Amino acid sequence: MFKIGDIFMGILPFTFPSTSDSNTIQRRQFVRLDVTLDTAIHPEHSEFTPFCALTEDISAGGASIRLLKGTAIQSVSQLYLWMALTMKSGEIHYLMLKSKVIRVTEKEHGNICCCTSNFLNLQKMIYRH
């Protein structure tokens, strides 16, 4: 212990383990990008009427989408996301991605909620491009 002014400070000896003795834990498989994309959301069967929304972020594994509260999307439902990707050249590429809704959470303010989804059949898409 040592004293700085009127405050006693404790020092804990801490040593870092060697790299062979430690494990790295990575929770995300893909990097997320904070990007707003126009997205058309279609049900897999006919659970709701298709509508348009905007993404909050996107990764190679899924997307987070802003929705109005009361939107008829349920967790664990499957849907198709049509995303418009605008290239620097001005050309627009449309992606149709089959997705599974992981959760729908309400924001604390306003009438917006957030839908988190995972892309399905991702390997087939990667090999196709």
pLDDT tens column, 9-33: 556 565 666 667 666 655 566 788 8
Those residues whose C-beta lies under 8 Å from the C-beta of residue 87, and which sit 6 or more positions away, are: 93
Write out pLDDT tens, residues 51-87.
999 999 998 889 999 988 878 787 768 899 999 988 8
The confidence score (pLDDT) of residue 99 equals 93
Mean pLDDT of the chain: 80
CB of 1 closer than 8 Å to CB of 13: no
Q: Note the pTM of the prediction, 2 decimals.
A: 0.68
- C-alpha dihedral sign at 47, 104, 55, 99: negative
Cα–Cα distance for residue pair 59/29, rounded to 1 Å: 9
